[in-house]
């Protein structure tokens, strides 16, 4: 790296602003160049700026990572495991600290941020079992005197590109597994809330990870494109919106990289006529408005089957009335602001368009009054929503819950299976046969039976279908160890020299 110091932002007004640096081979760097603006969404004030990497900077970081990786690859598995145990210990003991960093840049409540950290730690815990996850296979005597074994080896340098909505959990999903498998990583976090990534890199270093194995490079399209084109980087893990996921998948694959790109979502929750309506209403409100709807597994559509709609809508409306919306740092808040002013305006636009397209706005979050300039909007509930309306067709990524009324289970399943997104879904019912049929019929990657946000535990892998995932490998869990390793198969024979002979035929048993 050419500039080994962190530069202050030039100009008087910006004097107090922190510059969030890159982390490359253990050094915090912020060479002069483009900057992004980082806000506290609860106040609307800019709190920091973040250094944006050029293509040259990304390439220099990749070279540093490449230089560091062989030593890490040679590091024994027990030592790698010890580093991860230490990472777990540090994050657990300082979870409140990282949660507050997340809240101050993302806006979600501290309790929600603590939940994010806990779910990220789940993957650290899974990865501490790397001795087991990296085990090879062995077959003795596949032919006379011939044995075959398979080993898993790291890819080298891999890149992780992450979204704003889980600034700690998604990096922990990707980075931890990649490192456990012996790779060096370049993490390109969201430029909206980049501090958590720097904090995580510091923790891994404190835990004993050698420098150059966990690098953080900030930026926007310029930095991402440089990652996608850099020949040193062998694989790309991405989580973000569908158009960008598709772009990442296409460009990285065209450059010969291994790629997994998780995209957006429109998650439906079916409520059957036999469901417990209070439990369904609690679940719908929690899953639709938690984190202000900025979760890829948020429920954004309730599919009300038969005659449940009126009762359910009344119960959901009552619950919305009781929600406490405010600064995520205030322990009384249950829901915080959106990530940016643009997101706030965009979400308001969806509620506006719903009314214009014939849907019924039952609760209008735009009328919720807030003090100050934070990026807040209240929770909205929209009834009589139908495919073809913007509010149904597009991912809103905000606190707007749509209700689609259908006559039957079959109609509900057809609706979901016709959607381009297929990340998560849920059914609320008391009937086991319906639940089992739903599991069988539904074309979605993650399914909840009376569970509204079915994010799999760490021992399983996470991923949707259709436009919610490009590639064939899910995140974290066992599939991630497949993604971050390549298998090598070795066929062995120890013949007596006297047995040697020439044979031009294709080897058979
Ligand atoms: P985003 O697609 O805007 O950004 C994701 C990453 O891509 C960021 O690091 C960003 O810097 C980069 N990026 C943005 N525009 C780019 C461009 N034109 N070229 C190259 N790189 C670009 O997503 P976001 O707004 O940060 O996150 C929200 C989205 O992520 C939602 O759509 C949500 O559903 C999705 N998401 C999906 C999952 C999942 O598991 N499927 C999980 C979390 C979030």
Tokens of 98: 């990282």
- pTM for this prediction: 0.96
Q: What is the DSSP letter of 35?
A: E
Q: What is the pLDDT at residue 10?
A: 42
The preferred substitution site among 34, 41, 240 for testing ligand 1, maximizing ligand atoms within 8 Å of CB, is: 240
Residues of the chain with pLDDT under 70: 1-16, 509
Tokens of 276: 């417990």
Q: Is the CB of 194 under 6 A from ligand 1?
A: no
Nearest CA to ligand 1 atom 30: 240
Please give the distance, rounded to the nearest whole angstrom, from the Cα atom of residue 263 to the centre of ligand 1.
7
Tokens of 11: 């100009």
Fold of 18-263+468-489: Aldehyde Dehydrogenase; Chain A, domain 1 (3.40.605)
Pairing of strands 35-40, 45-51: antiparallel
Q: Which residues lie closer than 8 Å to 274 by C-beta, 6 or more apart? A: 429, 430, 431, 434
Nearest CA to ligand 1 atom 34: 264
Q: What is the sign of the dihedral through the CA atoms of 351, 355, 356 and 357?
A: positive
Helices 195-206 and 95-106: angle between axes, nearest 10 degrees: 160
The preferred substitution site among 163, 218, 228 for testing ligand 1, maximizing ligand atoms within 8 Å of CB, is: 163
> DSSP alpha helices (H): ranges in 255-396?
277-289, 309-321, 341-356, 390-393
Q: Indicate which atom in ligand 1 lies nearest the CA of residue 296.
A: 34
Q: What is the pLDDT at residue 503?
A: 87
CATH tag for 267-449 (out of 3.40.50.280, 3.30.70.330, 3.40.309.10, 1.10.10.60):
3.40.309.10
193, 167 in Cβ contact below 8 A?
A: yes
Q: Is the CB of 397 under 6 A from ligand 1?
A: yes
Nearest CA to ligand 1 atom 6: 163
Please give the distance, rounded to the nearest whole angstrom, from the Cα atom of residue 164 to the centre of ligand 1.
7
Q: Is the CB of 191 under 6 A from ligand 1?
A: yes
Q: Is the CB of 183 under 6 A from ligand 1?
A: no
Q: Indicate which atom in ligand 1 lies nearest the CA of residue 262.
A: 41
Please give the distance, rounded to the nearest whole angstrom, from the Cα atom of residue 482 to the centre of ligand 1.
23
297, 265 in Cβ contact below 8 A?
A: yes
Q: What is the pLDDT at residue 508?
A: 78
Residues involved in catalysis: 296
204, 130 in Cβ contact below 8 A?
A: no
Q: Is the CB of 188 under 6 A from ligand 1?
A: yes
ipTM of this complex prediction, to 2 decimal places: 0.98
Q: Is the CB of 264 under 6 A from ligand 1?
A: yes
Q: Is the CB of 350 under 6 A from ligand 1?
A: no
Q: Which residues lie closer than 8 Å to 74 by C-beta, 6 or more apart? A: none
Nearest CA to ligand 1 atom 21: 221
Q: What is the pLDDT at residue 15?
A: 55
Distance separating alpha carbons of residues 118 and 95, to the nearest angstrom: 8
Nearest CA to ligand 1 atom 17: 221
Domain extent listing, the chain: 18-263+468-489, 267-449
Q: Is the CB of 162 under 6 A from ligand 1?
A: yes
Distance separating alpha carbons of residues 493 and 463, to the nearest angstrom: 41
């Amino acid at each position: 790296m050419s500039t080994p110091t962190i530069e202050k932002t030039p100009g008087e007004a910006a004097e107090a602003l922190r510059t969030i640096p890159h982390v490359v081979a253990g050094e915090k760097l912020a060479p002069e160049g483009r900057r992004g603006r980082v806000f506290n969404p609860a106040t609307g004030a800019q709190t920091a700026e973040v250094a944006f990497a050029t293509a040259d900077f990304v390439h220099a970081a990749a070279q540093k990572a490449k230089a560091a990786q062989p030593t890490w690859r040679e590091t024994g598995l027990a030592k790698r495991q010890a580093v991860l145990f230490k990472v777990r210990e540090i994050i657990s003991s300082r979870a409140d600290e990282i949660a507050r960093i997340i809240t101050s840049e993302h806006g979600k409540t501290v309790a929600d941020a603590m939940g994010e950290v806990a779910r990220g730690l789940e993957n650290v815990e899974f990865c501490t079992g790397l001795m087991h996850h990296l085990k090879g296979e062995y077959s003795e005597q596949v032919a006379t005197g011939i044995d075959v074994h398979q080993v898993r080896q790291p890819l080298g340098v891999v890149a992780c590109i992450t979204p704003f909505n889980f600034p700690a959990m998604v990096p922990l999903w990707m980075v931890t597994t990649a490192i456990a498998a012996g790779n060096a990583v370049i993490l390109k976090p969201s430029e909206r809330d980049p501090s958590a990534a720097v904090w995580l890199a510091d923790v891994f270093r404190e835990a004993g990870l050698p420098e150059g194995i966990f690098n953080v490079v900030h930026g926007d399209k310029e930095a991402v494109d440089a990652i996608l084109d850099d020949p040193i980087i062998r694989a790309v893990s991405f989580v973000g919106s569908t158009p960008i996921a598709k772009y990442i998948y296409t460009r990285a694959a065209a450059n010969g990289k291994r790629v997994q790109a998780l995209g957006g979502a429109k998650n439906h929750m079916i409520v059957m006529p036999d469901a417990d309506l209070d439990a369904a209403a609690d679940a719908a409100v929690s899953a639709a408005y938690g984190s202000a709807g900025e979760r890829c597994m948020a429920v954004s559509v309730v599919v009300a089957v038969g005659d449940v709609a009126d009762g359910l809508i009344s119960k959901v409306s009552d619950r919305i009335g009781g929600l406490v919306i405010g600064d995520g740092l205030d322990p009384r808040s249950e829901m915080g602001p959106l990530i940016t002013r643009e997101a706030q305006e965009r979400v308001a636009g969806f509620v506006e368009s719903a009314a214009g397209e014939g849907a019924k706005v039952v609760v209008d979050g735009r009328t919720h009054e807030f003090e100050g300039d934070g990026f807040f909007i209240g929770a909205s509930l929209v009834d009589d929503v139908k495919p073809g309306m913007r509010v149904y067709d597009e991912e809103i990524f905000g606190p707007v819950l749509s209700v689609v009324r259908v006559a039957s289970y079959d109609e509900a399943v057809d609706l979901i299976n016709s959607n381009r997104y297929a990340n998560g879904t849920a059914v609320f019912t008391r009937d086991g046969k319906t639940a089992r049929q739903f599991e069988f019929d539904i074309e979605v990657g993650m399914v909840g039976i009376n569970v509204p946000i079915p994010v799999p535990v760490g021992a399983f892998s996470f991923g949707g279908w259709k436009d919610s995932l490009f590639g064939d490998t899910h995140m974290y869990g066992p599939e991630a160890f497949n993604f971050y390793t390549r298998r090598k198969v070795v066929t062995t024979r120890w013949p007596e020299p006297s047995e040697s002979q020439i044979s031009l035929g294709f080897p058979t048993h």
